[in-house]
Amino acid sequence: VLSNIDELFNREELSAAPDPGWPDCFNSGVFVFRPSLETYGKLLQHCTDHGSFDGGDQGVLNSFFNDWSTADISKHLPFIYNLSSIAIYTYLPAFKQYGGNAKVVHFLGKTKPWSYTYNTTSRQITGSADDATTHPTFLQDWWSLYSSTVVPMLQEQHGDQPFYSGCVEPPPCDMITVESVQDGTCPAFDQAIPPELSSEERKQKWEQGQADYLGMDSFDNIKKKLDSFLK
């Protein structure tokens, strides 16, 4: 959540943003409803009778509130209330135009922010470029907030007991010099610089759906390329 969304309390049930994969369905990551024991009971019965067409909550809710797509356009929330991270790269000009107004970012898909690791010293995020479908700015915001507010509480809760937070620090160097960084003798920088791919290798990665969204193929670099054509 990037900013206050109290205005959603003025919306009626069932208000939600369209799903990027099938816009006639709403995405259940963010929706407005009115708590009701009666509705709860009907949902349970609906699950018993019909199950879920996608195996999850979204399938149940869409089949139960099955007139969402046509009944009332005022119940269609703007996409900025449920901005799907994997949809950003499918329509870059729209993201460039409206992305700055995003209020809620949904890390949709199998790869989540916690699928990566975060260097608290360099503030660098490490993960598989093959799975990088999340806009790096939003990913950085998530890790910055998590490491500064959540991890300290986890440390207090666990005390001396070890736990996995996803935050890492590089091994210390006895002496860091320009030469040690350049020749790779400093272990802190041993894995910092990945080998650079050739143009042909990058093309193959793109064709395989494995673009380096956190590196050379980041949104900022793509935007610069688009801007150069539009000028």
Q: Domain residue spans in the chain?
A: 6-87, 110-230
Is residue 231 pLDDT above 60, yes or no? no
Burial 113-145 (b: 16+ CB within 10 A, else e): beebebbbeeebbebebebbbbbeebbbebbee
Rounded CA-CA distance 146/113 in Å is 10
Rounded CA-CA distance 107/120 in Å is 21
Rounded CA-CA distance 62/56 in Å is 11
* Residue range 149-164: mean pLDDT, rounded: 92
More confident residue, 130 or 206: 206
How much is the pTM? 0.69
Which amino acid is located at 21 in the chain?
Answer: G
pLDDT score for 133:
58
Task: List pLDDT tens digits, range 51-62.
Answer: 999 999 999 999
Range with the poorest average pLDDT among 28-32, 49-53, 171-175, 202-206: 171-175
